[in-house]
Amino acid sequence: MSAAFRGMDVVSIRDFSREQVEHVLKLAEKMVPIAKGEERSVLLEGHVLGSLFYEPSTRTRLSFDAAMTRLGGRVLGFDQPTGASVAKGETLADTIRMIDAYSDVIVLRHPQEGAARLAAHFANRPVINAGDGAGQHPTQTMLDLFTIRKEKKKIEGNNVVIVGDLKYGRTVHSLSEALAMFGANLTFVAPPSLQIPKEHLKQIESMGHKPKMSTSLAEVVKDADVLYVTRIQKERFPDPAEYQKVAGTYRIDLDLLKEVRKDLIIMHPLPRVGEIASEVDSTPHAKYFEQAFNGVPVRMAILGLVLGGLK
Amino acid sequence: MKEFKVTPIRNGTVIDHINVGMALKVLKIVGVKEDVSSTVSVLIHVPSKKAGWKDIVKIEDRELDPKELDRIALISPNATINIIRDYNVAEKFVVEVPNVIRGIMKCANPGCITNKDEPVEAEFVVESKKPITLRCVYCDRITTDIAENIQ
């Protein structure tokens, strides 16, 4: 397994087999005490992570920084392209060639879809995609899978309800494909204009699954084991009144949770903007902050594997 | 009915069985512009036994290169190429859709990195040949609207 990971680019969840993802999740479990600061590690001492964030990010960037630092490595790069040669019009290809010479692994967040694949094309070092436009965000998918497995002991057979902007939501597409690969039962809840795109549905169906589609969260939430909530973006709606209507329909509050399963877990990639009422935070269902923490051990496992420190 | 007639060519290429309506795209692909130096005949909406209707393009004193053939295959997968030498058909073949398309089409996704000023050619994996369905190697976008994006 280690030979397959060392030097590997992490661009899309589609590049991974189920066995490979399971291996990452297993190693991530072992990383938890280091991620929490309970144990010290020098696994990646002397290694440098080149961190290029062309778009703002809080959790992804900081959890990569934390993961690398906790394993004894160093981080260099930028968290906004202004001031860098990027702002002077340098191509991504040239910036990548430069950071490739300064670091051992590259983490890239970029507004254009396909940017990480392009970076992987020009870099000799492994490239980890930290989100490319509306495209892929494979480490988010892995930490989501990690969270479900941790809370539910397994992924297979769980009823996962995914609600929100399923059309443009970056995390939803790769997550739903991965969940199908692991044998979870999927239900997509969204207004018709924001339902999951046909090509993703086709991809899921090609794995032998038939997801359910619904517009009503209240109807399907009772049988859910996992409720995955995503943000509905205001800018997708030409009419603000229409946005208010849709956003209100899918708001998660204590009232909605009256008849749910006791062990339902609620996840959200964050940031949230009113999709989940803060009154839900103190219920045992709320797992979104644990989910955000889980980004650290998962990214530790990935960094360790692609740099050859973990096997 | 008056017979439709275009004179045979001595040397050059006849592209037959072009999907009806695609002849002008074919002209664009083979680079026929105002400054053309030899005769080019274009027949649009010609009766065809196979497909009902078809287009035909005849280019004198020109043989096509492989990239041009790939482009034609993408917009008209049933097109046949007849290479004419001294009034005889020297070679005849059906165009073939390649498995990988590189540098002859742009990605339909305006947000794709290959549509920015980067030193790469757009590249596609052919997911299906009937109907032609392409997946961008960079952004994963599926495209079936080939004619709109061919370069």
Measured between alpha carbons, how far apart are the two ends of chain B, in Å?
Answer: 40
Which residues of A fall within a CB distance of 8 Å from B120? 93, 118, 121
Residue B32, number of CB atoms within 10 A of its CB: 17
Which residues of B fall within a CB distance of 8 Å from A133? 111, 139
pLDDT above 70 coverage of chain A, percent: 98
A154: DSSP letter = -
Which residues of B fall within a CB distance of 8 Å from A115? 113
Preferred mutation among B112, B113, B144 to probe A, highest tally of A CBs within 10 A: B113
pLDDT in the model for residue B6: 74
Angle at A116 between CA A112 and CA A119, to 5 degrees: 110
Give residue A21's pLDDT band: very low, low, confident or very high (50, 70, 90). Answer: very high
Instruction: Flag if B112 and A136 touch (Cβ within 8 Å).
Output: no
pLDDT above 90 coverage of chain A, percent: 76
Comparing C-alpha atoms, which of A140, A224, A215, A214 is closest to residue A185?
A224
pTM for the full model? 0.89
ipTM of the complex: 0.87
Which residues of B fall within a CB distance of 8 Å from A108? none
pLDDT in the model for residue A3: 55
Q: Could you tell me if A50 lies within 8 Å of chain B, comparing CB atoms?
A: no
Question: Please, what is the angle between helix A18-35 and helix A59-70, to 10°?
Answer: 70
pLDDT in the model for residue B37: 82
Q: Could you tell me if A90 lies within 8 Å of chain B, comparing CB atoms?
A: no
Count of CB contacts below 8 A, A vs B? 54
Please state, in angstroms and as integers, the Cα–Cα distance from residue B114 to each residue in A129, B106, B125, B139, following that order. Answer: 17, 8, 15, 9
Q: What is the pLDDT of residues A174-223, one digit of tens each?
A: 899 999 999 999 999 998 888 998 878 988 999 888 999 999 999 999 99
Instruction: Flag if B139 and A132 touch (Cβ within 8 Å).
Output: yes
Q: What is the pLDDT of residues A103-121, one digit of tens each?
A: 999 999 999 999 999 999 9
Instruction: Flag if A93 and B118 touch (Cβ within 8 Å).
Output: yes
Which residues of B fall within a CB distance of 8 Å from A114? 107, 112-114, 136-140
> Which parts of chain B register pLDDT below 50?
none
